[in-house]
């Protein structure tokens, strides 16, 4: 009896390890298959454009609104914290750097996860459940190439652009708060930005969205595509909602983790 619990524990550890290994392997094969297809011509431009519209264009409003408020908050915080030291000219720099290096990439990614990532998972899950993916296979059409590769291309293209929009709108928002609301000299704001933001920061601010886009599409489309193999063994609509929630959570956490890793490597 006393041996039962440790044995159970070891069993569980073994079980989980096998599961995680299998899952990792499966996900990597999935990723390679989808990304590999990017380089096989011809690319289906109509499909890619459609995805750019859904993932990129339709996220624009959300990005602008969130960007605006984030920039405003950043400037407000910077003002509040810096005014006691009198370093007003750093407010511009703080706002811009905060956005470009960190908040732009991460928040834009999170918005896209919420809007497009969840839609991706749900759409693929429903397609899987109604045998549409099987139908593609039986027509001799590679479902990875047909359904998922366009999403990768579209997101890799759109997310950096959305991030830039976020940054720019955020800086404008910060300008509004600092200069117009709080009497920070306009010249100081702008000059502070120009002096302190350099190419390395911009590079960081673009590499991040590139990596984030891969991880978002990877996780969200994998979960939807394989909804029929979900761990809880749930079917139908419940299965779809389960994997969608999982996908959003998992990709959000992964983005944050990746954010740290990329920062570590590049800073």
Partner 1 sequence: MPDVSTQDKDIEHVIRVENLVTHFGDREILHNVNINVRKGEVMVIMGGSGSGKTTLLRHMLGLHQASSGSIYMLGQDITQLSKKQMYEMRRNMGVAFQGGALFSSMTVAENIQLPLYEHTSLDDMTIKIMTRMKLEVVNLAGFEDLMPSELSGGMIKRVALARSIIMDPRLLFFDEPSAGLDPVVSAELDELILRLRDAMGMTIVIVTHELDSAFRIADRITVLDQGQILITGSVEDVKNCDNERVQNLLNRKPKDEDIDPEAYLQRLTREG
Query: 120 vs 28, 79, 80, 98, 182, CA distance in Å?
Result: 19, 40, 41, 30, 43
**Smallest gap from residue 187 Cβ to partner 1 (A):** 52
Q: Which residue, 101 or 221, has its beta carbon nearer to partner 1?
A: 221
**Smallest gap from residue 24 Cβ to partner 1 (A):** 21
**Smallest gap from residue 48 Cβ to partner 1 (A):** 15
Q: Which residue, 75 or 116, has its beta carbon nearer to partner 1?
A: 116
Residue recorded with tokens 């750097």:
97
Contact positions vs partner 1 (CB under 8 A): 127, 130-132, 134-135, 137-142
Q: Which residue, 130 or 186, has its beta carbon nearer to partner 1?
A: 130
Q: Rounded to 10 degrees, what is the CA torsion of 229, 249, 153, 163?
A: 180
**Smallest gap from residue 13 Cβ to partner 1 (A):** 21
Q: Which residue, 6 or 140, has its beta carbon nearer to partner 1?
A: 140
Instruction: State how far the Cα of 252 lies from the Cα of 212, in Å rounded to an integer.
Output: 10
Q: Which residue, 130 or 195, has its beta carbon nearer to partner 1?
A: 130
**Smallest gap from residue 132 Cβ to partner 1 (A):** 5
- Which residues have C-beta within 8 Å of that of residue 189, sequence separation ≥ 6? 89, 91, 92, 174, 175, 178, 179
Cis, peptide link before residue 210, omega less than 30° from 0: no
Q: Which residue, 123 or 259, has its beta carbon nearer to partner 1?
A: 123
**Smallest gap from residue 155 Cβ to partner 1 (A):** 18
Q: Which residue, 118 or 252, has its beta carbon nearer to partner 1?
A: 118
**Smallest gap from residue 263 Cβ to partner 1 (A):** 38
Q: Which residue, 40 or 253, has its beta carbon nearer to partner 1?
A: 40
**Smallest gap from residue 113 Cβ to partner 1 (A):** 22
């Amino acid at each position: 009896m006393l041996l039962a619990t440790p044995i159970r524990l070891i069993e569980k550890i073994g079980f989980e390890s096998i599961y995680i290994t299998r899952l990792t392997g499966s996900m990597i094969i999935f990723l390679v298959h989808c990304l590999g297809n990017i380089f096989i011509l011809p690319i289906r431009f109509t499909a890619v454009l459609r995805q750019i519209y859904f993932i990129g264009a339709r996220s624009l409003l959300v990005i602008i609104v969130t960007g605006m408020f984030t920039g405003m908050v950043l400037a407000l915080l910077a003002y509040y914290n810096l005014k006691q030291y009198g370093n007003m000219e750093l407010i511009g720099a703080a706002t811009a750097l905060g956005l470009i290096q960190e908040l732009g990439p991460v928040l834009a990614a999170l918005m896209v996860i919420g809007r497009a990532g969840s839609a991706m998972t749900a759409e693929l899950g429903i397609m899987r459940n109604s045998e549409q993916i099987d139908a593609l296979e039986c027509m001799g059409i590679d479902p990875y190439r047909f359904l998922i590769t366009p999403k990768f291309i579209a997101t890799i293209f759109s997310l950096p652009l959305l991030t830039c929009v976020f940054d720019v709108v955020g800086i404008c928002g910060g300008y509004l708060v600092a200069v117009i609301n709080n009497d920070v000299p306009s010249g100081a704001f702008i000059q502070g930005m120009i002096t302190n933001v350099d190419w390395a920061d911009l590079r960081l601010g673009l590499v991040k969205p590139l990596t984030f886009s891969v991880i978002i599409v990877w996780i969200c489309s994998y979960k939807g595509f394989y909804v029929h193999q979900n761990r809880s063994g749930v079917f139908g609509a419940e299965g779809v909602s389960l994997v969608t929630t999982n996908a959003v959570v998992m990709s959000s956490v992964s983005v944050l983790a990746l954010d740290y890793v990329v920062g570590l490597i590049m800073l």
